[in-house]
Amino acid sequence: MSTESAGDGRLSDIADAAQRAAGLLAARHRGDAEGVRTLWGSFTDDRALAGGSLLLADLALRLVCEQSGESMEQCVQRLSARLGAAVGPVG
């Protein structure tokens, strides 16, 4: 497997960003405001945050699919419904 990925980011850089995004979420859920600020500040640009978050979301969805026995499409549909409910009516 190549160490290069989409754009000019390396896979190891994207994996590092995904780990920091996971840490940020963990800090948020345990109420660690300083940890959230520190990890949020560790993202030097939007591309790193987006790439890491996308990888994290992909891996998390794969875990949900494995545990639930659902297809990726079913998991994404269920997630989309929850996102819609969380956001409420738009407009």
Classify residue 1: in a domain, yes or no.
no
Classify residue 57: in a domain, yes or no.
yes
- CA 29 to chain CA centroid, Å, is 14
Classify residue 53: in a domain, yes or no.
yes
Classify residue 2: in a domain, yes or no.
no
**CB-based contact 14:8 (threshold 8 Å):** no
pLDDT number for residue 88: 81
pLDDT number for residue 91: 63
> Whole-model pTM?
0.76
Residue 89 in tokens: 């009516």
Classify residue 4: in a domain, yes or no.
no
When divided into structural domains, the chain yields a total of: 1
Classify residue 3: in a domain, yes or no.
no
Average pLDDT on 18-32 reads 97
The range of the structural domain enclosing residue 68 comes to 11-87
pLDDT number for residue 70: 96
Residue 34 pLDDT > 90: yes
